Amino acid sequence: MKLIVGLGNPWDKYKKTRHNIGFEIIDQYVNSNNIGDFSYDNKYGWEVLTLLNPPSQGGLSNVTEKIIFLKPMEYMNKSGQAVQKLMNFYKIEAKDLLVIHDDIDLWVGVVKLKLDWGLAWHNGLKDIAEKLGTKDFNRVRIWIDRPLSVDQVSDYVLSNFKKEEIEKIQDKYLDIEWLISEFLGK
């Protein structure tokens, strides 16, 4: 069983912000592979999509196990609770978790998949690692660039992308989809 988590903030005012790129990418992956719709779970306060029998199409053609897509509907820095609850319920191991998130360390549009990266400044990742008791989980880092000053980070990640930045990220979407499919095929 695999769990793919997109990080973001759930409220409309954050919808197109840099910090919500995890939500945007997971939505795009689900839509481009025609695999269903997220549903809101009132009990746990998250949006989830569960595939018991993944369709044999697109990036899912080599996947035979259950896949869960999750968008925690809390502030980013409280994402760990939802991830922990779902992983405990389904007994999912950390190696079977993929978190898609923003990263300010490099230029817009660079993407990487890796296990056991540092958590750096990212409070969502820190919360997940704290709740799971490990930082040994997979991540797709989507670089959103860096503000000029450290004092501007909060405002910067909550600002909207410029048109040309959106285009750079969309140019990399097939790479991102390939990274997700690679994770699912492990």
The share of the chain scoring above pLDDT 70, in percent, equals 81
Cβ atoms of 92 and 31 within 8 Å: the answer is no
Question: Cβ atoms within 10 A of the Cβ of 114, count?
Answer: 10
Structural domains of the chain, ranges and CATH numbers in brackets: 2-185 (3.40.50.1470)
Name, in order, each residue with C-beta under 8 angstroms of 179's C-beta and a sequence gap of 6 or more: 111, 113, 140
Residue 28 makes CB contacts below 8 A (sequence gap 6+) with: 173
The answer on pLDDT for 73 being more than 90 is yes
d(CA 99, CA 36): 20
What integer pLDDT is reported at residue 141 of this predicted model?
81
pLDDT tens-digit profile of 104-160? 765 555 666 665 566 666 778 899 999 999 988 998 888 777 666 667 677 777 778
Question: Which residues lie below 8 Å from residue 18, measured CB to CB, with a gap of 6+?
Answer: 102, 144, 145, 156, 157, 158, 159, 160, 161
Answer whether 0.75 is exceeded by the pTM.
yes
Predicted pLDDT at 149: 65
- Catalytic residue annotation: 19
Mean of pLDDT values over 46-53: 87
